[in-house]
Amino acid sequence: MSKIKPSKGAPYARIMGVGGYRPTRVVPNEVILETIDSSDEWIRSRSGITSRHWASPEETVAAMSIEASGKAIADAGITPEQIGGVIVATVSHFKQTPAIATEIADAIGAGKPAAFDISAGCAGFGYGLTLAKGMVVEGSAEYVLVIGVERLSDLTDLEDRATAFLFGDGAGAVVVGPAKEPMIGPTIWGSEGDKSDTIKQTVSWDAYRDGTVEKFPAITQEGQAVFRWAVFEMAKVAQQALDAAGITSAELDVFIPHQANMRIIDSMVKTLKLPDSVTVARDVETTGNTSAASIPLAMERLLATGQAKSGDTALVIGFGAGLVYAATVVTLP
């Protein structure tokens, strides 16, 4: 018989607060057209994007995360010292080590929490949320800060007609804490590594270091393959998340998919047969694709503008490079 005492965590977990940060510089499509042969009409029809935010040198991954985190902590009504875990989802922190989460934890005054980064592309926030839920329920932390942050402008090839217009910068954060009833549903997550080449970094860092290639690494993708996968396969995953939570589409209040592309979002809504009463996040129009930051940024904007309200039931799903995905149903803070 084991001598290990059982964990004393919370029975359930919930999102308690949310915060976001968008860089001050707004970049309209006209700026993108300076380096690619395209048109504003083509970009809008392909992606639904009219503008995006690009970070200045001062708006670092850490700086944007700190701003978003401060808002989330205040929204949750706790102090930084109560944070027992900091999880950062990003693919654009350019130091292999140490984890940027440790720097952020220190900067916000969180004391000595568990702090680590995860790399799960556009599904990173969903992965972090699931890990945070486990930490709260297991009892290793009472409150966990989950951050999705990207400076994808650093990884954008402005001469690549297929991707130059897609990406933006920003940070979104949530605080996950204890709950007396289920407020974060089961996560449906996974990967399809056989399709990993459909979204990838153009060249490895060591190839760039060794001079094998001269052009700085960037993100590239096979647009049509990604579109088909996202629309058909991710709609199935989203439905599985609804089923796992015991929620029907008629009971859903809000849908917050990864803000990859407006056509993907609209196609998923149609495939899932969501009723008109469901509020759908379409933050991609003025924020672009911010990868791991897109879901918390969209969540923050819906709540701030009154399009969604505290207590609403929301389906969130992230999907991207890997190919990886994560979907769950949550109660909005």
Cα separation, 168 vs 88, whole angstroms: 18
Tell me if residue 289 is catalytic: yes
Going by the DSSP 8-state scheme, the letter that residue 308 receives in this structure is S
Cα separation, 298 vs 266, whole angstroms: 15
Task: Enumerate the β-bridge partners of residue 51.
Answer: 28
Tell me if residue 53 is catalytic: no
Angle, vertex CA 203, rays to CA 197 and CA 206, nearest 5: 130
69-82 burial, b at 16+ Cβ within 10 Å, e below that, comes to bbbbbebbebebeb
Question: For 288, phi and psi rounded to 5 degrees?
Answer: 75, -170
Tell me if residue 122 is catalytic: yes
Residue 25, SS3 per DSSP? strand
> Among 29, 93, 122, 261, which one carries the catalytic annotation?
122
The sign of the dihedral angle between the CA atoms of 130, 185, 172, 27 is: positive
CB-side neighbour CA atoms (13 Å) of 171:
32
Which of 273, 304, 330 lies closest to 20 in space, CA to CA? Answer: 304
Residue 311 backbone class (left: φ over 0; alpha: ψ -120 to 50; beta: rest)? left
Query: Catalytic positions, please?
Result: 122, 258, 289
